[in-house]
Amino acid sequence: MIERTLVLLKPDAVKRGLMGRILSRFEDAGFKVVGAKMAWADEKLARKHYDEIGGVGKRRGEKVLQHMVKIITSGPVLALCIEGIHAVDTVRKMVGSTEPKSAAPGTIRGDFTHVSFSYADAQNKGVENVIHASGNGEEAQKEISLWFAAKELHSYKTVHEAHTF
Protein backbone atom coordinates (compact mmCIF):
# COMPACT_ATOMS: atom_id res chain seq x y z
CA MET A 1 0.00 0.00 0.00
CA ILE A 2 1.40 3.40 -1.01
CA GLU A 3 1.00 5.86 1.87
CA ARG A 4 2.05 9.35 2.83
CA THR A 5 3.34 10.34 6.23
CA LEU A 6 4.54 13.51 7.92
CA VAL A 7 8.10 13.83 9.17
CA LEU A 8 9.33 16.90 11.02
CA LEU A 9 13.03 17.47 11.51
CA LYS A 10 12.81 19.39 14.75
CA PRO A 11 14.80 22.52 15.65
CA ASP A 12 17.53 20.48 17.36
CA ALA A 13 18.12 18.53 14.10
CA VAL A 14 18.17 21.76 12.08
CA LYS A 15 20.53 23.51 14.49
CA ARG A 16 22.89 20.50 14.53
CA GLY A 17 23.06 20.37 10.73
CA LEU A 18 21.52 16.89 10.48
CA MET A 19 18.87 17.60 7.83
CA GLY A 20 20.74 16.16 4.86
CA ARG A 21 21.94 13.08 6.72
CA ILE A 22 18.44 12.27 7.97
CA LEU A 23 16.72 12.99 4.65
CA SER A 24 19.22 10.71 2.90
CA ARG A 25 18.10 7.80 5.07
CA PHE A 26 14.55 8.04 3.76
CA GLU A 27 15.67 8.39 0.16
CA ASP A 28 18.16 5.52 0.58
CA ALA A 29 15.29 3.34 1.81
CA GLY A 30 13.34 4.08 -1.38
CA PHE A 31 10.92 6.67 -0.04
CA LYS A 32 9.94 9.67 -2.12
CA VAL A 33 9.75 13.22 -0.78
CA VAL A 34 6.51 14.71 -2.15
CA GLY A 35 6.54 17.82 0.03
CA ALA A 36 9.27 19.77 1.81
CA LYS A 37 9.50 23.17 3.45
CA MET A 38 11.12 24.98 6.32
CA ALA A 39 8.69 26.46 8.80
CA TRP A 40 8.90 28.08 12.19
CA ALA A 41 5.94 26.85 14.22
CA ASP A 42 4.21 29.30 16.50
CA GLU A 43 2.50 28.16 19.71
CA LYS A 44 -0.90 27.83 18.02
CA LEU A 45 0.43 25.48 15.31
CA ALA A 46 2.47 23.52 17.85
CA ARG A 47 -0.50 23.01 20.16
CA LYS A 48 -2.72 22.01 17.27
CA HIS A 49 -0.10 19.52 16.07
CA TYR A 50 0.60 17.94 19.45
CA ASP A 51 -2.62 18.29 21.40
CA GLU A 52 -5.50 18.41 18.95
CA ILE A 53 -4.12 15.89 16.46
CA GLY A 54 -1.81 13.77 18.55
CA GLY A 55 -3.68 14.15 21.83
CA VAL A 56 -0.43 14.49 23.78
CA GLY A 57 -1.92 16.67 26.53
CA LYS A 58 -4.73 14.17 27.02
CA ARG A 59 -2.35 11.19 27.18
CA ARG A 60 0.72 12.60 28.91
CA GLY A 61 -0.39 15.75 30.68
CA GLU A 62 -0.06 19.48 30.28
CA LYS A 63 3.55 19.66 31.54
CA VAL A 64 4.81 17.31 28.81
CA LEU A 65 2.76 19.18 26.22
CA GLN A 66 4.32 22.49 27.32
CA HIS A 67 7.83 21.02 26.99
CA MET A 68 7.07 19.70 23.50
CA VAL A 69 5.61 23.02 22.39
CA LYS A 70 8.66 24.86 23.74
CA ILE A 71 11.03 22.58 21.80
CA ILE A 72 9.22 22.68 18.46
CA THR A 73 8.81 26.47 18.58
CA SER A 74 12.49 27.10 19.48
CA GLY A 75 13.65 27.26 15.87
CA PRO A 76 12.78 26.27 12.32
CA VAL A 77 11.71 22.75 11.41
CA LEU A 78 12.01 20.96 8.10
CA ALA A 79 8.55 19.58 7.34
CA LEU A 80 8.50 16.62 4.96
CA CYS A 81 5.73 14.63 3.38
CA ILE A 82 7.17 11.23 2.58
CA GLU A 83 5.52 8.69 0.28
CA GLY A 84 6.11 4.99 -0.17
CA ILE A 85 5.00 1.46 0.52
CA HIS A 86 3.74 1.23 4.12
CA ALA A 87 5.36 4.61 4.73
CA VAL A 88 3.77 5.26 8.13
CA ASP A 89 4.95 2.08 9.84
CA THR A 90 8.30 1.84 8.08
CA VAL A 91 9.24 5.47 8.76
CA ARG A 92 8.32 5.00 12.43
CA LYS A 93 10.66 2.00 12.59
CA MET A 94 13.44 4.03 10.97
CA VAL A 95 12.90 6.88 13.44
CA GLY A 96 13.10 4.69 16.57
CA SER A 97 11.67 4.94 20.06
CA THR A 98 10.40 8.32 21.27
CA GLU A 99 12.80 8.13 24.20
CA PRO A 100 16.25 8.49 22.63
CA LYS A 101 17.94 6.34 25.30
CA SER A 102 15.66 3.44 24.32
CA ALA A 103 16.04 3.91 20.56
CA ALA A 104 17.96 1.09 18.89
CA PRO A 105 21.29 1.80 17.20
CA GLY A 106 20.70 2.23 13.48
CA THR A 107 17.52 4.23 14.01
CA ILE A 108 17.59 7.99 13.55
CA ARG A 109 17.03 8.70 17.24
CA GLY A 110 19.38 5.89 18.25
CA ASP A 111 22.18 7.34 16.13
CA PHE A 112 21.71 11.06 16.76
CA THR A 113 20.30 11.40 20.31
CA HIS A 114 20.79 9.81 23.72
CA VAL A 115 18.74 11.69 26.36
CA SER A 116 16.42 9.77 28.68
CA PHE A 117 13.02 10.77 29.98
CA SER A 118 14.34 10.62 33.55
CA TYR A 119 17.24 12.98 32.76
CA ALA A 120 14.91 15.46 31.05
CA ASP A 121 12.48 15.26 33.98
CA ALA A 122 15.32 15.91 36.45
CA GLN A 123 16.33 18.96 34.39
CA ASN A 124 12.68 20.06 34.08
CA LYS A 125 12.89 20.19 30.32
CA GLY A 126 11.62 18.36 27.29
CA VAL A 127 13.38 15.58 25.43
CA GLU A 128 15.04 16.78 22.25
CA ASN A 129 14.79 13.78 19.96
CA VAL A 130 15.48 15.42 16.54
CA ILE A 131 12.45 14.09 14.64
CA HIS A 132 8.70 13.55 14.60
CA ALA A 133 6.91 10.97 12.48
CA SER A 134 3.16 10.36 12.29
CA GLY A 135 1.98 7.53 14.54
CA ASN A 136 -0.69 6.02 12.29
CA GLY A 137 -2.46 6.57 8.99
CA GLU A 138 -5.24 8.77 10.37
CA GLU A 139 -2.76 10.93 12.26
CA ALA A 140 -0.60 11.19 9.12
CA GLN A 141 -3.48 12.55 7.06
CA LYS A 142 -4.38 15.14 9.71
CA GLU A 143 -0.77 16.20 10.25
CA ILE A 144 0.01 16.48 6.54
CA SER A 145 -3.01 18.76 6.04
CA LEU A 146 -1.94 20.84 9.04
CA TRP A 147 1.59 21.42 7.74
CA PHE A 148 1.01 21.45 3.97
CA ALA A 149 -1.50 22.98 1.58
CA ALA A 150 -2.59 20.59 -1.17
CA LYS A 151 -0.70 22.66 -3.77
CA GLU A 152 2.55 22.08 -1.83
CA LEU A 153 2.39 18.30 -2.35
CA HIS A 154 3.62 16.81 -5.59
CA SER A 155 3.22 13.63 -7.60
CA TYR A 156 6.06 12.44 -9.81
CA LYS A 157 7.82 9.25 -10.80
CA THR A 158 11.28 8.48 -9.52
CA VAL A 159 13.75 6.97 -11.98
CA HIS A 160 13.07 3.59 -10.40
CA GLU A 161 9.32 3.93 -10.93
CA ALA A 162 9.76 5.18 -14.49
CA HIS A 163 11.86 2.15 -15.44
CA THR A 164 9.68 -0.58 -13.98
CA PHE A 165 7.63 -2.76 -16.26
**Choice among 49, 114, 132, 163 that is catalytic:** 132
User: Distance between CA atoms of 128 and 151, rounded to whole angstroms?
Assistant: 31
Q: Is 132 a catalytic residue?
A: yes
Residue 108: name the closest of 136, 80, 85 by CA: 80
Asked whether the beta carbons of 80 and 9 are under 8 A apart, the reply is: yes
What residues have CB less than 8 Å from 57, skipping those under 6 apart? Answer: 50, 51, 64, 65
Q: Which residues are catalytic?
A: 132
